[in-house]
């Protein structure tokens, strides 16, 4: 038991709310911190995908790039904690790096699920988090470089089902 606890603790400190690899400066956007300076309240409060995208990245259409890898289960084992991983294949140098990665769930009550900020020192634009999904829906990630270039992942459907009846 002692060991388990220790591992759990280490896991928490290493991973934060979302297991993030190699990021020295990281500001996970926490949804209830509405009064924090610079908090993009409008983006997180938007009730529809278009509005959430408009408020966060100022556009509703972003070209899909094979560089943005979104991994999510095809079927959620637990809709209350769906594991999602985003990994952006892009340089992380002082003059060209991924600054922010946005994650949207099309029909969640507030479609912008998270926004993770990176710097060149992060080394890699990568994170894993667990999101809540009310029903079968599309999940999509949009990465923004420091120069403002936007690229989207291929959207992925995650099914939230009643279960049962397996062979």
Partner 1 sequence: MNLTRRDFMAMMGIAGATGFLSPSAIASSWGSGKDPYEIDDYGNVTLLHLTDSHAQLLPVWWREPGTNIGTRKQKEWGVTPHLVGDHKLEYYGIKAGTPEGYALSCMDFDTLAHKYGKIGGYAHIATLVKRYREQVGKKAILLDGGDAWQGSATSLWTKAEDMVGAQNLLKEDYFVGHWEFTYGADRVEYLLKHKLKAKFLSQNVFTIPWDELVFDPYDIREINGRKVAIIGQSFPFTPIANPAYFVPKWAFGIHPGHMQKMVDECREKHHADIVVVLSHNGADVDKKMASQVKGIDIILGGHTHEIMGPRPVKINNTLVINTSTNGKFLARFDLDVGKGKLKGWRFHYLPIISNMIPEDKEMVDYITKVRAPYAKKLAEPLAVTESLLYRRDNFNGTFDQILCDALREEMDCEAAFSPGFRWGYCKLPGETITMEDVMGQTAITYPQVTVTEYTGAELKNVMEQVADNLFNPNPYYIQGGDMIRVGNIQYTMDPGETIDKRITDLRIGGKMVQANKRYKVAGWGAMQRVEGTPVWDIFAKWLRSKKTVSAKTRDLPVLTKNMAGNPGIAYPKDYDL
Give whichever of 59 and 161 is closer to partner 1, judged by the CB atom. 161
Give every CB contact of residue 74 below 8 A, 6+ residues apart in sequence: 156, 157, 158, 159
Q: Which stretch binds partner 1 (CB under 8 A): 43-51, 94-102, 103-111, 159-167?
A: 159-167
Q: How many angstroms from the chain centroid is the CA of residue 56? A: 13
Q: Which stretch binds partner 1 (CB under 8 A): 33-41, 70-78, 105-113, 115-123?
A: 70-78
Residue 162 contacts partner 1 per CB under 8 A: yes
Name which position in 64, 78, 91, 94 contacts partner 1 (CB under 8 A).
Answer: 78
Q: Which residues pair with 93 in a beta bridge?
A: 96
Question: Which alpha helices (DSSP H) does the chain contain, by range?
Answer: 2-15, 41-45, 49-57
Residue 5 contacts partner 1 per CB under 8 A: no
For partner 1, the binding residues in 87-146 under the rule CB under 8 A are 128, 130, 136
Name which position in 81, 91, 94, 121 contacts partner 1 (CB under 8 A).
Answer: 81
Give whichever of 154 and 159 is closer to partner 1, judged by the CB atom. 159
Q: What are phi and psi of 44, to 5 degrees?
A: -80, -20
Shortest Cβ distance from residue 82 to partner 1 (Å)? 11
Question: Which residues contribute to the site for partner 1 (CB under 8 A)?
Answer: 7, 11, 15, 19, 71, 73-78, 81, 83, 128, 130, 136, 159, 161-167
């Amino acid at each position: 038991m002692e060991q388990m606890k220790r591992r759990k603790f280490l896991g928490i400190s290493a991973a934060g709310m979302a297991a993030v690899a190699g990021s020295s400066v990281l500001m996970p956007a926490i949804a209830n911190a509405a009064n924090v300076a610079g908090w993009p309240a409008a983006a997180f409060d938007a009730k529809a995908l278009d509005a959430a995208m408009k408020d966060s990245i100022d556009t509703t259409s972003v070209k899909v790039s094979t560089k943005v890898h979104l991994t999510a289960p095809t079927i959620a084992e637990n809709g209350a904690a769906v594991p999602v991983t985003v990994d952006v294949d892009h340089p992380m140098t002082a003059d060209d790096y991924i600054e922010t990665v946005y994650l949207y769930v099309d029909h969640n009550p507030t479609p912008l699920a998270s926004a993770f900020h990176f710097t060149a020192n992060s080394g890699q634009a990568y994170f894993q988090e667990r999101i809540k999904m009310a029903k079968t829906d599309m999940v999509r990630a949009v990465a923004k470089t420091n120069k403002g270039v936007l690229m989207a992942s291929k959207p992925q459907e995650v099914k939230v089902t009643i279960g049962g009846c397996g062979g």
